[in-house]
Structure 1
Amino acid sequence: MPDFTLDQRLQDDSFSVGPLGLCQLLLMNDKRWPWLILVPQRADISEIHDLAPLDQAMLSFETAMVAKAMKSATGCEKINSGALGNIVRQLHIHIIARNCGDAGWPGPVWGHGTREPYEKDEADKLIRILRARLAA
């Protein structure tokens, strides 16, 4: 994807999990919720409907695949997913593991409390587990 560049804010706030077919997969650096971000590797795209039809299908497939891996890896009760893009315009999809009683439950994670960064070894462990689930 020669013209694609990851938004600096996404890069600064996350760890790389790795590339998928269409998307880069990131782990948000906030341990209050296991939180993944899919970023389609297409330049100058801010909305799902701006993607080519085949890319839309691939994004749907990768979103479901990542959500399933997240649920399996965390044992969470609920997966929240969404594409807001109000601050970071580059198209990205949030996949967040939620449990009854977690910080902010049952409300949204956005704007709730203060971020709690991972220790490097904590992030690395979750990334290894997610990669294994995605490879299965």
Structure 2
Amino acid sequence: MSAFELDARLERDSDLITILSLCQVRLLKDSRWPWLMLVPQRAQKTELFELTPLDQALLTFETNLVAGALKQVTGARKINVGALGNIVAQLHVHIVARHEGDPNWPGPIWGFGTALPYDDETKQSFVKALNQAIDA
């Protein structure tokens, strides 16, 4: 059995926030949207249905937990959740807070414009608030 390894592109494009029972919670390096990603720590998984039934339930629970925390912290109008994997095959779930008037609202975020990095203070404040909401 091979060990879990994070895809190099996912690692490059995001920062680790915390680790839950199943997933790494990662923050995308793009301040235009509060954009998180859950990565189940299971080797060689590319599809939701490849997870065990217990891991599927845990992924659903962790997705709901993180999405709720993100909505609480951001006050977003809408939380988008998606598992695409067309570019990076490793199973991962995007959780994005959307607001009217954000870049490309109401269109999709993928492939739109150029990522804007967080400044350190804003990032640290957001991560702290998000971790507190997840732990509440």
Aligning the two structures, in what range does the TM-score lie when normalised by the shorter sequence? Answer: over 0.9
Q: 1:122, CA displacement in angstroms? A: 1.8
Residue in 2 that maps onto 1:76: 76
- Quote how far apart the aligned CAs of 1:71 are: 0.1
Q: Distance in 2 between matches of 1:126 and 1:107?
A: 24
Partners in 1 of 2:86 and 2:117 — Cα distance?
22
Return 5+ residue gaps in structure 1 as ranges: none
- Cα distance in 1 for residues equivalent to 2:17 and 2:5: 16
The alpha-carbon deviation at position 91 of structure 1 amounts to: 0.2
CA distance in 1, matches of 2:135, 2:78: 22
Matched ranges for 1:17-96 at <5 A: 17-96=17-96
Give the structure 2 partner of residue 13 of structure 1. 13
Residue type at the aligned position of 2:41:
Q
Structure 2 counterpart of 1:105: 105
Name the SS of the counterpart of 2:114 in structure 1: coil
**1:121 Cα deviation (Å)?**
2.4
Per the TM alignment, residue 15 of structure 1 is displaced from its structure 2 partner at its CA by 1.3
* Superposition TM-score, scaled by structure 2 size: 0.97
User: What CA distance in whole angstroms lies between the structure 1 residues aligned with 2:91 and 2:120?
Assistant: 27
| Aligned-partner Cα distance in 1 for 2:95–2:10 | 14
| CA RMSD across the alignment | 0.9
Where structure 2 has 5 or more consecutive residues not aligned to the other structure, the ranges are none
Aligned-pair CA distance for 1:123: 1.4
- Aligned equivalent of 2:134: 134
What is the identity percentage for the equivalent residue pairs of Structure 1 and Structure 2?
Answer: 53
Task: Tell me the amino acid that sits aligned with residue 34 of structure 1.
Answer: P
